[in-house]
Amino acid sequence: MSNSSWGFLLLVFSAFFLNLDAFELRKGQKTERISGSAGDVLEDDPVGRLKVFVYELPSKYNKKILQKDPRCLNHMFAAEIYMHRFLLSSPVRTLNPEEADWFYTPVYTTCDLTPNGLPLPFKSPRMMRSAIQLISSNWPYWNRTEGADHFFIVPHDFGACFHYQEEKAIERGILPLLQRATLVQTFGQKNHVCLKDGSITVPPYAPPQKMQSHLIPPSIPRSIFVYFRGLFYDVGNDPEGGYYARGARAAVWENFKDNPLFDISTEHPTTYYEDMQRAVFCLCPLGWAPWSPRLVEAVIFGCIPVIIADDIVLPFADAIPWEDIGVYVDEKDVPNLDAILTSIPTEVILRKQRLLANPSMKQAMLFPHPAQPGDAFHQILNGLARKLPHDKSVYLRKGEKVLNWTAGPLADLKPW
């Protein structure tokens, strides 16, 4: 039997089961509990487990920047803004720094957008440095640990390496002043200079209300086998090809553009969100960075994410069993993607779909406003709470210095 007729049978088959599944879901029987490696931690309540002190900074570090460009509320790095708002009114916030477990510095480093809305990270290092200078001279807490009990939200492509090209990001490395702090970032890749031990990998921001408004009835069958919308080549930034997405997206296009099981294109239709709800598998290949908002969209829309990004570290990986939910395909195996996906047994597909249907899974991917129990804000706090108590070694002796304030490119040392 050819792949495509086999695939067609599978579609009919899974569409049938999906209907059944949706029905059973309504009776509240057939969702599977998500049990993370750390136990059933997605439903943990962080309140009472940690106290966070929010530094008060001049508004030029946050609110004023946002006023200049309100588009920052909607792009995929917007978590830095919503996390700030969330913490200001969260019951974990303490106004007494003496009793704080964690210190948070609200700097919006990704709110400098090109006319097309692309965030530029070039001023971020100076801005971050300036903020740290300010907190370390006005409060005693930074010097006590040189940031080891401080956390920062750095959602840019390669986190605190502050560059969107991997080569340059690696060359820069993590901003020297942040080397003891806990970084909350979207970037996650094993053994990479831009991901330090102990960082918390979070989902990128995807607009919750907008996604909600595109939900279609779960009874509509998933008649698309594989779905993808996005770039295959980035000719502007990678004219010779092979560097963008390490060639993985180009390989998807070259191998499957004419394959009827693959609904792939660069065109972004207005039915994009609906289409994901009609698909069994949604490709989540790396782009410039290994992660993209597609992962969040796939989870929200119950489409099994096919993760093509070697060594990626997925959001809240200590709480979410991603191997059970998604499918990992090595970048080098992209040419066999059709065979890999069509050979997954139906019962395995159904189990992944049941796990994806679990509301706690979807909740953990979102930054809703106002916040809701179990959402991404709460998962970040849970992650911070799990790191407590701090090891005694984080507290420096009086006068002891570890960080080098003059390290890094000269341009980063200029005042902001």
Ligand X SMILES: *[C@@H]1O[C@H](CO)[C@@H](O)[C@H](O)[C@H]1NC(C)=O
Residues that bind ligand X (CB under 6 A): 136-137, 140, 143, 404, 406-407
β-bridge partners, 283: 306
b/e 211-221 (16+ beta carbons within 10 angstroms → b): beebeeebeeb
Nearer to ligand X, 134 or 340 (CB): 134
Question: Hey, what are 357's tokens?
Answer: 């249907």
Nearer to ligand X, 176 or 326 (CB): 176
Residue 399 CB, nearest approach to ligand X (Å): 9
Phi, psi of 70 (to 5 degrees): -65, -10
Residue 143 CB, nearest approach to ligand X (Å): 4
Nearer to ligand X, 237 or 404 (CB): 404
Residue 53 CB, nearest approach to ligand X (Å): 15
Residues 6+ apart with CB under 8 A from 214: 273, 274
Distances (CA, A) of 205 to 94, 151, 185, 202, 263: 26, 18, 11, 9, 25
Residue 149 CB, nearest approach to ligand X (Å): 15
Amino acid in position 121:
P
Nearer to ligand X, 297 or 412 (CB): 412
Residue 142 CB, nearest approach to ligand X (Å): 7
Distances (CA, A) of 8 to 4, 226, 250, 347, 378: 6, 12, 25, 16, 41
The three-point CA angle 317-321-322 to 5° equals 75
Nearer to ligand X, 136 or 382 (CB): 136
Nearer to ligand X, 137 or 336 (CB): 137
Distance, in Å, from the CA atom of 125 to the CA atom of 92, rounded to the nearest integer, reads: 28
Nearer to ligand X, 348 or 407 (CB): 407
Distance, in Å, from the CA atom of 199 to the CA atom of 179, rounded to the nearest integer, reads: 11
Asked if 335 contacts 253 with a C-beta cutoff of 8 angstroms, the reply is: no
Nearer to ligand X, 216 or 396 (CB): 396
Nearer to ligand X, 152 or 262 (CB): 152
Distance, in Å, from the CA atom of 39 to the CA atom of 345, rounded to the nearest integer, reads: 27
Crossing angle of the two packed helices 346-356 and 3-26, in degrees rounded to 10: 40
β-bridge partners, 102: 52
Distance, in Å, from the CA atom of 326 to the CA atom of 317, rounded to the nearest integer, reads: 12
For the four alpha carbons of 172, 177, 182 and 185, in that order, the dihedral sign comes to negative
User: Measured in whole angstroms, how far is the alpha carbon of residue 339 from the centre of its chain?
Assistant: 29
Listed residue (358, 208, 334, 323) closest to 283, CA to CA: 334
Nearer to ligand X, 96 or 406 (CB): 406
Asked if 287 contacts 230 with a C-beta cutoff of 8 angstroms, the reply is: yes
